[in-house]
Amino acid sequence: MQIQAVSWQQFTSQIAWSDPKMMMRAKKRFGQNFLQDDLIIDQICASVRPKPDQALIEIGPGHGILTERLVQKTPDMTIIELDRDLIPNLRRLLPSTVNIIEADVLTVDFNAFDAPLMIVGNLPYNISTPLLFRLFELGTRVASMTFMLQKEVVDRMGAVPNTKAYGRLSVMAQYHCEIEKLFDVPPTAFRPAPKVTSAVVQLRPHSQPLQPATDLKTLSDVLVAAFGQRRKTLRNSLSSLLTTDQLKELGIDPGERAECLTVADYVRCANLLSQNPS
């Protein structure tokens, strides 16, 4: 059976809110753009296949149109929503088995949930990068993460060395996860329509990094220094952390710039620094 995308008018009529006034407008301060395309929603649901022992968590359910599909697979799922105006209708729309957390997701302690976690969500641009870094720290407590993000962010996560998009997010995402871009999502799939194209990406944490870092904080410090001054050579951008001789010892040309190094190169820099702290 072919599934047709619904219009916004059809979508709002199908929700059947108890109070029509509660169909809230998107709020700019929350970076809200509500997904309305049925075909895209089905594609996302098809990519999220929680197992019985996994805790399903949705970040930013909005009006609950995706949540309604997900809850059919996992009735006891958890949703995290910051906008208090959306909470009453989410409670009316969803079964009582759903755990609703009204909070800023950046303040939520994901270690409080029983692992393994399967996390899904349409992430606002203004919190996407800090949230991703927090979730990376959970390691193998997470089974998978399926997110809709600005296409630019997804491209940065999967970027390779010697490209403009390659940066700190690329290194940390690839260090922690296997990254699979699933599909692009046009602005017309949202209400209101954003000015940029989005994309859905699935992240699966590595059971063990290919080259483990001795200390992740040190790895982060190296990346901040290198990419914080990416136009400078490594000799200059990393001068407060590593000497020219140390870079050469690692087989790294001090005259190169940050985007030239691989994930493994950065791990070796961090591990050397961990062994020889200043």
Q: What pLDDT is recorded for position 92? A: 95
Q: What pLDDT is recorded for position 37? A: 87
Distance, in Å, from the CA atom of 31 to the CA atom of 23, rounded to the nearest integer, reads 17
User: 57 CB contacts (<8 Å, ≥6 apart)?
Assistant: 77, 78, 79, 80, 110, 113, 117, 118, 119, 120
Beta strands 190-191 and 78-81, pairing class: unpaired
Neighbours of 265 (CB within 10 A): 21
**Which residue, chain included where needed, has tokens 């870094």?**
133
Neighbours of 79 (CB within 10 A): 26
Q: What pLDDT is recorded for position 28? A: 42
Q: What pLDDT is recorded for position 16? A: 37
Distance, in Å, from the CA atom of 205 to the CA atom of 219, rounded to the nearest integer, reads 17
Residue 9 φ then ψ, to 5°? -65, -45
Rg over alpha carbons for the chain, rounded to the nearest Å, is: 21
Q: Say if residues 190 and 34 touch (Cβ distance below 8 Å).
A: yes
The rounded mean pLDDT for the chain is: 88
Which domains, and CATH codes, for the chain?
Answer: 8-205 (3.40.50.150), 216-275 (1.10.8.100)
Q: Could you report the per-residue pLDDT of 186-221, keeping only the tens digit for each?
A: 999 887 787 889 999 999 999 998 899 999 999 999
**Which residue, chain included where needed, has tokens 């699966």?**
204
Per-residue pLDDT of the chain (278 residues; tens, 9 = 90+): 333 444 433 434 343 333 333 344 544 444 457 788 899 999 999 999 999 999 999 999 988 999 999 999 899 999 999 989 999 999 999 999 999 999 999 999 999 999 999 999 988 888 899 999 999 999 999 999 999 999 999 999 999 999 999 999 999 999 999 999 999 999 998 877 878 899 999 999 999 988 999 999 999 999 999 999 999 999 999 999 999 999 999 999 999 999 999 999 999 999 999 997 76
**Which residue, chain included where needed, has tokens 């970027």?**
159
User: What's the angle, vertex CA 72, arms to CA 12 and CA 33, rounded to 5?
Assistant: 40
Q: Say if residues 182 and 47 touch (Cβ distance below 8 Å).
A: yes
Which DSSP helix (H) or strand (E) runs through 178? Answer: strand 177-185
**Which residue, chain included where needed, has tokens 């922690």?**
176
